[in-house]
Structure 1
Amino acid sequence: MSTPEVRILAAGSALPGQPVDNAALARRFNMDTSWEQWVDAFIGTRSRHLAVDLESGEVRSSLAELAATAGQRALDSAGLRPDDVDVMLLGTATPDQLMPATVNMVAERLGIDGIPTYQLQSGCTGAIGALDLGRQLLRTGEHRTALVLGGDVCAKHFDVDFDLKTMAPTELVNVVLFGDGAGAAVLTAEPVADAAVVHSIVNRLTGLGRPPGQVVDWYGQANRRTDAPALQEDYKAIERLVPDMAVEVLKELLAGLDWCDTDVDYLLAPQLSGTMTARIVKELGLPGAEEISCVAEIANIGNAAPFVQLERLLPEMAPGDRAIGIAIESSKWIKAGFALGKV
């Protein structure tokens, strides 16, 4: 019996609240115009959606709420119901609680029960890890339809009363770098016509001997019981290493499928920041590929980003089109990617 191909039927996403631009952040935290200019030039991200209200500090959206909305939108787009799903996976770095697992609270909201559920805790590559596991489960023949989710809500790290002027640069960058959101994709092992086939997925830990580029502790900036920083990021190391890692993923995917650079019609580049994504796209050197990016308008939304990109990509793909998606995680240096083709 041959191994079935796995296809992506549809994708969906959900973002909390209205977009918050750099000027609004500057006003809320009493930062001068030079700070706003620094964000525009150094980060290159214009706005983001936040699960926390900037004025009151109230958390308005949980990851479970956003993921359930994204999952329902993906199912609706695929023409399926929640009871059509027979395996469910979530990739996130920021679960709502340690227990119960957020994936199970999403299932509760969708009315899903009696199926296997999996939650993968990881940074920006968690979504691709979830896609990888979902694909492997479908290829066994034991499952037919997978709902794969990814998302992050950083409310616990967003303290609306903190004085940003006292923050070290390694902490300050995270205030403007990240946004909140969730995404989902529906995978099937059925031979559905006009659906994108997942040809290959790369998911590699490459952190042996490398110090972490990002450390996120259990407590958050907004609920602290220690003076130690809750989140640290070695942005210089990220700038140095991530573009090369992205090129490595691209080369591995192309070689594994015997594709050439010119065979790629769409590129879903890592969504770190506006400036970093532009630099990575240039390093990847795929001049004939159309870039599918969202980071400039909704910021780095972690594990939700690949699904937002897929949501934009899938309606654009024509028969014969090929796409490459790449994500890099700086925590302990994970490189990941996938290749799709429209049959």
Structure 2
Amino acid sequence: MQSVKESARDAHNGITVIGSGSAIATQVISNDDLSQIVDTSDDWISSRTGIKKRHIATSTSLSELAAQAGLRAIAHSGLTPLDIDLIILATSTPDDLFGSAAQVQSIIGATRAVAFDLTAACSGFVFSLVTASQFIRNGVYRNVLVIGADFLSRWVDWGDRTTCVLFGDGAGAVVCQGNSEKDNLLGFEMCSNGALNNTLNLSYQGNLENIGEDKQINNGGFSNITMNGREVYRFAVNKVPEVIEKALFRAHLTTDDVDWLILHQANKRIIDAVASRLKIPEQKVITNLHNYGNTSAASIPLALDEALKEGKIKSGDVIAVSGFGAGLSWGASIFRWGR
């Protein structure tokens, strides 16, 4: 006789991605605005990054913006918050260092869902999507809400023109659902290399303080984002095409089968170089970097949601997504959109 969990596993061991949503901060900072505070210009930023403006959060919390994106994804999927079994919040900038996923769960009203944060920086959405798929394939949960949200503006040195021009704030989400008849998550690959951590990080800086006669504590906080742009570029253009090809191999597909490529929106030069190496034509590459900058874990689901709203992506389209960044971490997932 089958157990309840075994029956659940048989009932929905495939995965479909059935809904998307996004939310952005309201304040817009253009390249011209930045030229008022650092030695830069619209031409300098645009030519090197492809970014024209970014949205910066002020009074809105990350949990609130993530919840907005999540609610829109749930509505788009035709479900209600009470249908959600699990919420995975991909973020490196929570409102609370102990995690913000539970706050998001409360705001959404998904009272039946368990919620946790997943920290993998700009790879966070891809890693979370893969994590969600494992819970579904194991028959543990049926409806999983995956949210990517980051407020990197909190950790930017606004006097450093090499980093302050890059980052923006936003949130994007998808709903994944178990399906007994099909499995639309076709393949994935994930990688990490901690030896390169110092090329892009947001590190803790502590100071030793004496307590009592012979004891010490380490008291401090996190510093601003630091990045070696040249090394990150070299890493991305070499490793991202490779990880996408590995994910495609696991899916028994080639680049010719890809309808849409959505990369982490870090830099237009990186996006163009990766697409060129994969021989994926420009008309198949989805970008919105110019409007939002680098929104870290939010960038892929934000771009996905916009493309769906614009009618570019159709049900049945094969989408290749890849995130890459701090850790260093990188990964790719291949999925077919829709039920």
Whether TM exceeds 0.5 here: the answer is yes
Identify the residue that residue 331 of structure 2 maps to in structure 1.
336
Structure 2 CA distance for partners of 1:142 and 1:211, relative to 1, 3 Å:
closer
**Cα distance between partner residues in 2 of 1:267 and 1:278:** 11
Query: Which position in structure 1 is the counterpart of 2:164?
Result: 175
SS at match of 2:334: strand
**Would you say the 8 A contact 1:47–1:299 is kept in 2?**
yes
Check 1:228–1:268 CA distance in 2 against 1; reply closer, same or farther (3 A cut).
closer
**Separation in structure 1 between the aligned mates of residue 43 and residue 221 of structure 2, nearest angstrom:** 30
Measured at CA, do residues 37 and 263 of structure 1 come closer, stay the same or move farther in structure 2, by a change above 3 Å? same
What secondary structure, in the 3-state scheme, does the structure 1 residue paired with 2:32 have?
helix
User: Do 1:246 and 1:284's aligned partners in 2 also have CA atoms closer than 8 Å?
Assistant: no
**Whose strand proportion is higher, 1 or 2?**
2
Counterpart of 2:198 (choices 205, 212, 229) is 212
1:9 is aligned to 18
Task: Quote how far apart the aligned CAs of 1:113 are.
Answer: 2.2
5 Å-filtered alignment, 1:191-230, equals 197-205=184-192, 207-218=193-204, 230=224
Gap change, CA 1:288 and 1:299, over 3 Å in 2: closer
CA contact (8 A) 1:265 1:288 kept: no
1:332 Cα shift?
2.5
Q: Secondary structure at the match of 1:210?
A: helix
1:45 is aligned with what amino acid?
I
Q: Which amino acid aligns with 2:274?
A: I
Say which SS state the counterpart of residue 165 (structure 2) adopts: helix
Deviations, residues 283-314 of structure 1 (Å, cap 9, x unaligned): 22212861111112111100011111221344
- The alpha carbon displacement at 1:35 in A equals 3.2
Give me the whole-angstrom Cα distance separating, in 2, the residues matched to 1:102 and 1:197: 29
Aligned to 1:35: 41
Displacement after TM superposition at 1:185 (Å):
0.6
Deviation at 1:232, TM superposition (A): 1.0
Quick one: percent identity of the two aligned structures?
24
Cα distance change on mapping 1:184 and 1:192 into 2, 3 Å: farther
Q: Any idea what the Cα deviations from partners look like across 1:2-49, whole Å, max 9, x if unmatched?
A: 87210111111100114321112223x1x46x5332112222201110
Q: Within 2, Cα distance between the matches of 1:210 and 1:217?
A: 14
Give the TM-score normalised by the residue count of structure 2. 0.85
| CA distance in structure 1 between the partners assigned to 2:252 and 2:203 by the alignment | 42
Alignment-mate amino acid for residue 63 of structure 2: A
C-alpha change, 1:84 and 1:22, in structure 2 (3 Å) is same
8 A Cα contact 1:152 1:302, kept in partner: yes
Contact 2:255–2:278, Cα closer than 8 Å, also in 1: no
Cα distance in 1 for residues equivalent to 2:91 and 2:199: 18
The one-character-per-residue Cα deviations of 1:47-94 (angstroms, maximum 9, x if unpaired) are 11001xxxxxxx322110100000011111111111010111111111
Unaligned runs of 5+ in 1: 52-58, 220-224
Q: How far, CA to CA, are the matches of 1:145 and 1:320 in structure 2?
A: 20
Report Cα offsets for 1:89-108 as digits up to 9, x if no partner. 11111111113x20011111
TM-score (norm 1): 0.84
What SS class does the counterpart of residue 174 from structure 1 fall into?
coil
Question: What's the offset of the Cα at 1:210?
Answer: 3.3
Structure 1 residue 298 corresponds to structure 2 residue 307: no
The structure-2 alpha-carbon separation of the partners of 1:287 and 1:145, relative to structure 1 and needing over 3 Å to count, comes to: same
| Structure 2, unpaired ranges of 5+ | 1-9, 206-218
Structure 2 match to 1:109 = 107
> What corresponds to 1:88 in structure 2?
87
Residue of 38, 41, 51 corresponding to 1:45: 51
C-alpha distance in 2, partners of 1:176/1:192?
46
The alpha-carbon distance between structure 1 residues 36 and 192, as it changes in their structure 2 partners (threshold 3 A), is: same
Query: Is 2:143–2:178's contact at 8 Å kept on the other side of the alignment?
Result: yes
